[in-house]
Structure 1
Amino acid sequence: MSRQEYDYIVIGGGSAGCVVATRLIEQNAGTVLLLEAGGPDSSLFHTIPATVVKVFQQKSWPYMTIPQPHCNGREMIIAQGKVLGGGSSVNGMIYIRGQQEDFDEWGVPGWGARDVLPYFKFAEDNESLSGEYHQAGGYLGVSENRFRHPMTQAFVRAGQEMGLAYVNDFNGASQQGVGYYQTTTRSGERCSTSKAYLKRVRGNDKLTVITGALTHKVLFSEGRAVAVEFSEKQGSVQTAWVRKEVVISAGAFGSPKILMQSGIGPKEHLSVLGIDTLIDLPVGKNLHDHLHLSLNATTHASNSLLGEDKGLRGISHMFQWAAFRSGLLTTNVLEGGAFIDSLGVGRPDIQLMFLPVLDNFDNTPGEKPPAQEHGLTVKTGHVRPEARGQLRLRSKDPQEQPLIDPNYLGTQADLEGQIRAVQVGLRLMEQPSLKALIKKVTAPEEMDWRDTRALEVFVRQNIKTVYHPTGTCRLGHDSATSVTDLDLRVHGVPNLRVIDLSVCPMVTSGNTNATAIMIGERGAAQILGRPLAASNPGPIREPASWLREG
């Protein structure tokens, strides 16, 4: 067998990895191998926005936390995308960058709000917004929803009845207010990074993409990364050699796992597992995530999304989408939202997401799902958690899932923030526009929003992730407290980078996929040695031998 050798190896074909691979090929930087543990995003469900529930459940790593002591000892699901496009192929498509203060508070030179804004804009093809914060012409489609459910409209009116301003742009000067989310869609279709970026270079003979490829570890010689070991469908171990750089873009769980399996991580942990420590770094530490509560209510009328995928209704919706890319199937379900300053400090700390259907999509296995009734859900959560957890290896076996301890609700401030979030949500449900629709609030049932003791019980038992894990390969100056430097290079290895959400010192305030894509753009520019890679769209070619399914 001939030796597999490439200029660049990108581990992880997710939100950031697809961006990096595409930019390297576009700029003729050399040959690129992209390794993705999941499969291709060829299913129609990855194109239809409203089928988000199906793809999320079927195309994700089934990660679970260890028992969380502050959440009544529950083991909690924290799945992550396992498919080309990663999270961008399975998420709710909400386009949120976070607050400008988030990036400034990272305290990292070159990564403040003014520094990252050009990369957000460069990526974006916004159909309706421009000016200081937005632009058209990028690869990532950012659009208004083609469908707005009447109950979502009631939610937006209710927010204004509660005193919130109507906001047309949650990614502008301020998040504060209520409105409709822009989504990572284009012309009624999901716009993942696989479709927005990777599809543009898929006919290039310098790109090789292998799906079903589980990375085992990175190999080193004389302080440099020289190869990557991986297997396809649990087959024999293969070795791919690298001439220039290895880029790890496997996410907040996958990236630290690969680093530790390669001998880069906390020495006291790796030595217990019998892994030789090449570089002692705080890999896997600083883990944190967003949490939320689903406030559920049944409705008087049969007016939710329940049953819309069945029978003649389902056929009608599919025909409308297939023929015109319009109608109900263009919805991302989470159409409306709000950001609220619950502390009166001039900066929102609570996020709301509205569903015109009872939330029954991301329950931890074994938990009782809501009844199959018509209803609505207000997802509400605190967006700036203080608690920090960690990720550790379970064993040396790359097939085993890591031990994940996010330390959910690990500080009193986090608990109080989630209680305030529930209070905001319950107050919203009492506003005239929503109250007229609601028959009964079923979660939390018969609870006064002022009863903080009862709300604490509800929070601890029902809190769940928003699937935004962050921080496990933190960037910074000091190798004692960070894993990567300001150019996303792993401390001590000049040709090994981590480019994904794991580098964030603190999670941004809101949904994180836009930030992952920005990091991909910024990381690619740093590899290429230029502030912004020149745009070179070119024709989208049909695939040749670019994809080898494992």
Structure 2
Amino acid sequence: MNNDYDYIIIGAGSAGCVVATRLLQAKAGRILVLEAGTKDSSLFHTIPATVIKVFQQKSWPYMTVPQEHCNHREMILAQGKVLGGGSSVNGMVYCRGQRQDYDLWASEWGCDQWSYQDVLPFFKKAEKNESLADEYHGQSGILPVSENRYRHPLTLACIRAGQQMGMNYVNDMNGWDQAGVGFYQTTTQNGERASTSKTYLKSVEHHPDITIVTDALVHKIETQDHQATGVTYSIAGQATVTALVRKEVIVSAGAIGSPKVLLLSGIGPKQHLDKLDIQCIQDLPVGENFHDHLHMSVNATVTTQNSLLGEDHGLKAVRHFLQWRFTRSGLLTSNILEGGGFIDTNKHGRPDVQFHFLPVLDNFDNTPGEKTAAQAHGLTIKVGHVQPKARGYLRLSSKDPNALPIIDPNYLGHQDDIDANIRAVQAGLRLLQQPALKAIVKEVIEPANIDPDNVDAINKWMRQNIKTVYHPAGSCKMGNEPKNSVTDQTLKVHGFQNLRVIDCSICPQVPSGNTNAVAIMIGERGADFILNH
């Protein structure tokens, strides 16, 4: 077996699949893709509405340390562990964040090559949008972006309520202005999930120059004289193999996996590596600047008895499956998070809170041992602040590559995050008071019996009920100085000519919204840097 490659990509997730595809299209050389998870061959990866099942089955079981500001709860922070990564298990919402996010990367974070005008061409390059065709959208990319075909009556009621509360109805949350309420566009096509594995990677899977290895756990990146020379990994727990690299090693293992791989390879804070007896090759703030989006579920039972409760059982489930199987239509084409919106609760001129509407009581990702939602017909308004200021860190727990890292996101560790998430809950409760929802809401059960103006009661409830939206970012932050960043603006790790990080871990500040589209844009931009710079 010829075990040397031009490029080795660690992680076949949202960004890694993009990089591999673009390098092959450019005939850049032989590529090895290493994915710790399995193949995405299960039907659950194809049917959008089975997002809950697939997420629970195909994820890294990451947990945080007890969170000081969240009643010392240990919290789930699962990440996709499968070909396609997050794009194979996520809610399929296509969201880029706000143009201001990227302009602030340029002005506040020193990343002057990453303004909105710099990144917009790469969002468009990726995108194959079925309905939007203005200056903000692309139609000839690899990633299908679609209108949702199934619209649940409870989602429609939430969207009407948003308008009654003063929000504009919008068809595009990815244009010049994100503010408003409406239906999310989704990364689906013909009633099927469109992950980067099923779109990008599938377009090159038979290419003679690509080798995709699943069940491959990376032990370390081999380096010599500040050159990456190869990657040592094991398949399904067997003996280690070292693949050699001629051109570049690309780390695309996500905001938890990428720092872990760098730390195991001796790239990171010297003090931390010394404690674990790992030789420090490059002293960089790997694992710092770790942050994430949070949300809470504002839950209400409804009189209409038409939520999704029970639709996945018995004859109903059979009927839905047959409809999907033969017509690619109906409930199973729904991403469940069909509608939502962005609202400016702080009057700062741009939205700071995001809504996701669920036509069922959200009971999907409660930490084990915590209370479960009532088995009743209801709806959920997921609410959360989208510009977190708190920063935490990621560390290795041991030298063993099988060991899960220590993750402390320091959730709610900044007063602005506390205030904004309280405003998010207030907005959710006020939404439930609008005529479109008041007409069908039986009882608000989470938070129960709390007035929207009772800040103290909301604060107390929030600390017990807040949880991740699975958007970790920032742990291999890009910048210009090795003392406060891990990569430069072309995503090269400081001190190395041929080692890059290409995923959401490079974000100095997570963009305002869901992060899958962001990871794909970073993949497109990173591939462009490799090929053209």
Q: Determine if the TM-score, normalized by the shorter chain, exceeds 0.5.
A: yes
Percent identity, aligned pairs only?
63
Aligned counterpart in structure 2 of residue 428 of structure 1, from 431, 447, 458? 431
- Could you give the per-residue CA deviations for residues 323-379 of structure 1, whole angstroms, max 9, x where no partner exists? 111111000000010100001121000000000000011111111110211110000
Is 1:321–1:330's contact at 8 Å kept on the other side of the alignment? yes
Structure 2 Cα separation of the partners of residues 448 and 186 of structure 1: 42
Which residue of structure 1 aligns with residue 56 of structure 2? 57
Report the secondary structure of 1:106's partner residue: helix
Structure 1 Cα separation of the partners of residues 211 and 2 of structure 2: 14
- Could you give the per-residue CA deviations for residues 387-446 of structure 1, whole angstroms, max 9, x where no partner exists? 000000001000000000000000111101100000000000010111111111110001
Structure 1 residue 280, shift from structure 2 partner: 0.2
- Could you give the per-residue CA deviations for residues 185-219 of structure 1, whole angstroms, max 9, x where no partner exists? 01111000001100001111110000000001000
Which residue of structure 1 aligns with residue 323 of structure 2? 320
Aligned residue identity for 2:448: E
Structure 1 residue 148, shift from structure 2 partner: 0.1
Structure 2 Cα separation of the partners of residues 432 and 109 of structure 1: 46
Aligned counterpart in structure 1 of residue 180 of structure 2, from 174, 177, 196? 177
- Could you give the per-residue CA deviations for residues 214-260 of structure 1, whole angstroms, max 9, x where no partner exists? 00100011220001000111111111110110000000000000000
Between the two proteins, the alignment pairs up a number of residues equal to 529
Structure 1 Cα separation of the partners of residues 277 and 151 of structure 2: 55
Which residue of structure 1 aligns with residue 65 of structure 2? 66
Which residue of structure 2 aligns with residue 109 of structure 1? 112
Structure 1 residue 301, shift from structure 2 partner: 2.5
Structure 2 Cα separation of the partners of residues 135 and 216 of structure 1: 39
Structure 2 Cα separation of the partners of residues 124 and 135 of structure 1: 5
Aligned counterpart in structure 2 of residue 193 of structure 1, from 196, 208, 217? 196
1:244 paired with 2:243, answer: no
Segments of structure 1 that go 5 or more residues without pairing to the other structure are: 531-550
1:82 paired with 2:85, answer: no
Structure 2 Cα separation of the partners of residues 490 and 163 of structure 1: 46
1:265 paired with 2:268, answer: yes
Report the secondary structure of 1:265's partner residue: coil
- Could you give the per-residue CA deviations for residues 165-189 of structure 1, whole angstroms, max 9, x where no partner exists? 1011000111111111000001111
Which residue of structure 1 aligns with residue 121 of structure 2? 118
Aligned residue identity for 1:156: I
Structure 2 Cα separation of the partners of residues 177 and 183 of structure 1: 17
Aligned residue identity for 1:372: Q
1:46 paired with 2:45, answer: yes
Is 1:335–1:355's contact at 8 Å kept on the other side of the alignment? yes
Aligned residue identity for 1:439: K
1:455-494 correspondence to structure 2 within 5 Å: 455-494=458-497
Is 1:3–1:240's contact at 8 Å kept on the other side of the alignment? no
- Could you give the per-residue CA deviations for residues 68-101 of structure 1, whole angstroms, max 9, x where no partner exists? 0000000000100000000000000000000001
Task: Identify which range, 274-283 or 433-442, moves more after superposition.
Answer: 433-442
Structure 1 residue 3, shift from structure 2 partner: 5.1
Aligned counterpart in structure 1 of residue 405 of structure 2, from 402, 406, 412? 402
1:30 paired with 2:29, answer: yes
Structure 2 Cα separation of the partners of residues 351 and 458 of structure 1: 19
Is 1:291–1:381's contact at 8 Å kept on the other side of the alignment? yes
Structure 2 Cα separation of the partners of residues 506 and 208 of structure 1: 34
Task: Identify which range, 103-112 or 468-477, moves more after superposition.
Answer: 103-112
Structure 2 Cα separation of the partners of residues 161 and 223 of structure 1: 59
Which residue of structure 1 aligns with residue 305 of structure 2? 302
Report the secondary structure of 1:264's partner residue: coil
1:120-519 correspondence to structure 2 within 5 Å: 120-519=123-522
Structure 2 Cα separation of the partners of residues 276 and 29 of structure 1: 33
1:100 paired with 2:103, answer: no
- Divergent runs of 4+, >2 A: none
Is 1:216–1:230's contact at 8 Å kept on the other side of the alignment? yes
Structure 2 Cα separation of the partners of residues 413 and 52 of structure 1: 32
Structure 1 Cα separation of the partners of residues 280 and 419 of structure 2: 40
Structure 2 Cα separation of the partners of residues 367 and 12 of structure 1: 32
Structure 1 residue 486, shift from structure 2 partner: 0.8
1:1-16 correspondence to structure 2 within 5 Å: 2=1, 4-16=3-15
Aligned counterpart in structure 2 of residue 523 of structure 1, from 521, 526, 533? 526
Report the secondary structure of 1:440's partner residue: strand
Report the secondary structure of 2:157's partner residue: helix
* TM-score, normalised with respect to structure 2: 0.99
Report the secondary structure of 2:158's partner residue: helix
- Could you give the per-residue CA deviations for residues 423-477 of structure 1, whole angstroms, max 9, x where no partner exists? 0000000101111111111100011010000000001010000000000000111
Segments of structure 2 that go 5 or more residues without pairing to the other structure are: none
Task: Identify which range, 313-322 or 55-64, moves more after superposition.
Answer: 313-322
Structure 2 Cα separation of the partners of residues 148 and 249 of structure 1: 35
1:528-539 correspondence to structure 2 within 5 Å: 528-529=531-532
Structure 1 Cα separation of the partners of residues 2 and 176 of structure 2: 52
Structure 2 Cα separation of the partners of residues 277 and 321 of structure 1: 53
* TM-score, normalised with respect to structure 1: 0.96
Structure 1 residue 513, shift from structure 2 partner: 0.5
Is 1:165–1:177's contact at 8 Å kept on the other side of the alignment? yes
Report the secondary structure of 1:175's partner residue: coil
